[in-house]
């Protein structure tokens, strides 16, 4: 028997231990924590003035609450059945954490794009978070009730078919596999109306326009001392405007020392390139939903002259929300944990990934800012578009898992039939109900004054 056959047989054997239908079960544990407590526990290490913005964003809808509630679902998933087949997890694989970005060869590619919670763990956790996000999005967009189940099932079916395909491929072929913009557009063409195809093409054009020059126009202005980032408090606060007891020259020294430390974490060839850029400005910037309140910065660098700006993003890296439910990461530096997870899961990586430790021991990771990045706008998405998007995300997640896990064993477990699709779709609809209850509890906490929220 070949090793591939051994893997398939092992996966099939796991069905006896964990029948696929069990993945459809969702009942809150008797000791399930208050979801508001889980959210506010995360605020202890966040910038206090920004925490109410996070609360406000999460309160807007059950879908926005789900985006920021990765810690809640991590706790819930820890009590669900698993096969014991581990992969490198994204840890927060909801549909808005997939999108397009520029590869090092400047090709537009599609992949997962958020790895703040990445850790090795059960492949089922990522798949359930993805599928549930489609059920919640269907409800958010007021599609027909059956579409909640259908979209969730489509994402799982696409994952299942893709992991079976990757299981039959050579390791190097899996490693080099990726989805380019051409692949994405051709995949959508046959099932979308002319209007929907135009929307998809517009999305790609908009993503391609997002680069450092575009960011310079939006974030900075020309001064007597060159370009400086413009204050837009509280969402963008330049370093010069951040209240501090330190001398401004000391703060700038912290930044330049941090940049030197970042350079030590990248490859030698990239260091040669970055050494040609000079530091110009830095600002605290609010990003995302779940990340609001963490220390996130944008750094403006200058190349040959003012016409060559370059922006890097620095994001605080705390412990993964999965950490209390899984073995500890082999990487003690949380920024390194995020970067390694991203490099392992993505087919095409940002060349500028790196990590540093801040002045007070805070861990950060660095990446390029606004480099042709774009994600689907759920509010404007038609049902036909979301159906294709569910299939695209499911296949993309399967590829990410196949890069680190035993694709043969997972393929043997999921099988050719729809048993797993139906089970996780049932879980997703039930979890969408749970998410709505949690959102109402969260809104009530705001209305009662228990927690503060403002735009």
Residue from 300, 278, 282, 291 nearest 236 by CA: 282
Q: What share of the chain in percent tops pLDDT 90?
A: 71
Band of pLDDT at residue 185, cut at 50, 70 and 90: low
Q: Which residues contact 301 (CB under 8 A, 6 or more apart)?
A: 274, 277, 278, 279, 280, 309, 310, 311, 312
Question: Is pLDDT of 255 > 80?
Answer: no
| Mean per-residue pLDDT of the chain | 91
347, pLDDT greater than 70: yes
User: Quick one: average pLDDT of 314-339?
Assistant: 96
- Residue with more model confidence, 1 or 206: 206
Which residue, 397, 419, 428, is CA-closest to 147?
428
Percent of the chain surpassing pLDDT 70: 93
Q: Are 420 and 156 in contact (CB under 8 A)?
A: yes
- Per-residue pLDDT averaged across 312-336, rounded? 96
pLDDT band at 413 (very low <50, low <70, confident <90, very high): very high
pLDDT at 411: 98
Phi then psi for residue 435, to 5 deg, are -60, -40
- Of 202-211, 311-320, 382-391, where does mean pLDDT reach its minimum? 202-211
Assign 291 a pLDDT band (cuts: 50, 70, 90): confident
Is pLDDT at 301 greater than 90 in this prediction? Answer: yes
- pTM of the predicted protein model: 0.93
Determine the pLDDT at residue 1.
45
């Amino acid at each position: 028997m070949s090793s591939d056959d051994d893997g398939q047989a092992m996966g099939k054997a796991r069905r006896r231990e964990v029948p696929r239908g069990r993945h459809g079960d969702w009942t809150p544990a008797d000791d399930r924590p208050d979801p508001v407590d889980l959210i506010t526990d995360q605020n202890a290490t966040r910038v206090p003035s920004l925490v109410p913005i996070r609360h406000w964003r999460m309160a807007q809808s059950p879908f926005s609450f789900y985006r920021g509630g990765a810690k809640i679902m991590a706790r819930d998933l820890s009590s669900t059945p698993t096969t014991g087949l581990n992969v490198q997890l994204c840890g927060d694989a909801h549909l808005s954490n997939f999108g397009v970005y520029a590869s090092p060869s400047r090709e537009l590619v599609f992949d997962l794009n958020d790895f703040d919670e990445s850790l090795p763990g059960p492949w089922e956790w990522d798949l359930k978070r993805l599928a549930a996000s489609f059920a919640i999005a269907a409800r958010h967009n007021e599609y027909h009730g059956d579409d909640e189940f259908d979209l969730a099932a489509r994402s799982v079916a696409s994952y299942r078919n893709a992991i079976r395909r990757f299981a039959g491929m050579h390791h190097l072929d899996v490693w080099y596999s990726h989805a380019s913009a051409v692949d994405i557009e051709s995949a959508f063409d046959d099932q979308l109306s002319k209007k929907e195809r135009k929307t998809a093409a517009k999305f790609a054009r908009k993503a391609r326009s997002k680069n450092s020059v575009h960011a310079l126009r939006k974030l900075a202005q020309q001064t007597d001392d060159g370009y400086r980032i413009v204050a837009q408090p509280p969402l963008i606060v330049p370093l010069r405007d951040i209240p501090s007891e330190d001398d401004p020259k000391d703060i700038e020294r912290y930044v330049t020392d941090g940049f030197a430390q970042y350079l030590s974490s990248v490859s030698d060839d990239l260091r040669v390139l970055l050494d040609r850029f000079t530091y110009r400005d830095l600002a605290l910037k609010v990003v995302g939903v779940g990340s609001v309140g963490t220390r996130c910065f944008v750094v403006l660098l200058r190349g040959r002259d003012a016409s060559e700006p370059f922006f890097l993003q620095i994001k605080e890296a705390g412990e993964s929300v999965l950490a209390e439910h899984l073995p500890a990461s082999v990487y003690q530096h949380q920024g390194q944990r995020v970067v390694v997870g991203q490099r392992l899961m993505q087919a095409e990586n940002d060349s500028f990934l790196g990590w540093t430790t801040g002045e007070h021991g805070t861990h950060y990771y660095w990446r390029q800012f606004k480099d042709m990045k774009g994600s689907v706008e759920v509010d404007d998405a038609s049902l036909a578009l979301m159906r294709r998007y569910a299939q695209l995300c499911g296949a993309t997640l399967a590829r990410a898992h196949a890069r680190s896990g035993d694709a043969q064993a997972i393929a043997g477990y999921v099988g050719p039939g729809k048993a797993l699709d139906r089970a996780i779709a049932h879980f997703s609809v039930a979890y969408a109900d749970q998410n709505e209850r949690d959102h109402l509890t969260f809104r009530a906490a705001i209305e009662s004054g228990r927690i503060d929220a403002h735009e």
